[in-house]
Amino acid sequence: MGLNPILVIKTVENSTIGVRARLKDDFVEHEIVLNSVLAYYWANELPPVVKFLELFDSVVKRTINELMPHKNLYLKYSVKADSNLEDASMLEINLDEVMADDVGFKIDGKQLLLSGFKSVENEEGRVPFEKTFEKNIETPDIVLKKYEELKNKKE
């Protein structure tokens, strides 16, 4: 490929996360509506930051797969939170590297700053969390075949 694809991550009015993958004139975009997602996590007593990170991985994977079907997605990002991930109310994600089947993405909007995951009643005893995640996420063959079929229909 002559041009590297671009991955754009953006926050819109602190209520929506936009994830867009672009290659030349083609692009695919998905959004995470934070209010709806957080309401679901709270109603089901799920750890919101942990579940949000899982959803973020999934949305990035899906967005890139719809643009350029791939078997393996490599994601590298660092996470900072005001407490352990289960109890955190604030989250910072710094996206360092994204590759789909060894094709590197240029990243636009490398940092997400989010807050309001949990209400904090007592700041005492909260230990900040910081970790770099490196993930290889594989697309199952049957799913990859469906993405390839969708891509071929568009062309």
At 31-77, the pLDDT tens digits run: 999 999 999 999 999 999 999 999 999 999 999 999 999 999 999 99
**How deeply is 50 buried, as exposed, middle or buried, from its count of CB atoms within 10 A (0-12, 13-18, 19+)?**
middle
Confidence at residue 1, expressed as pLDDT on a 0 to 100 scale: 45
Hey, which residues does 16 pair with through a beta bridge?
A: 12, 33
Do residues 5 and 103 lie in contact, with contact meaning Cβ atoms separated by under 8 Å? yes
At residue 122 the predicted structure's pLDDT band, cuts being 50, 70 and 90, is: low
Euclidean distance between CA atoms 153 and 155, whole angstroms: 6
3-state helix, strand, coil in the chain (%, to 5): 30, 40, 30
pLDDT value at residue 150: 84
| Segment 137-145 mean pLDDT | 91
Is 115's pLDDT higher than 50?
A: yes
Backbone angles phi, psi at 113, to 5 degrees: -120, 120
Confirm if 136 and 73 have CB atoms less than 8 A apart.
yes
Residues 86 and 81: their CA atoms lie apart, in Å, by 10
> Quick count: other Cβ atoms within 10 Å of Cβ 142?
7
Using a CB cutoff of 8 Å and minimum separation of 24, what contacts does 120-127 make?
120/82, 120/89, 126/82, 126/83, 126/87, 127/83, 127/84
Domain limits, the chain? 6-154
* Percent of the chain whose predicted confidence (pLDDT) is above 90: 73
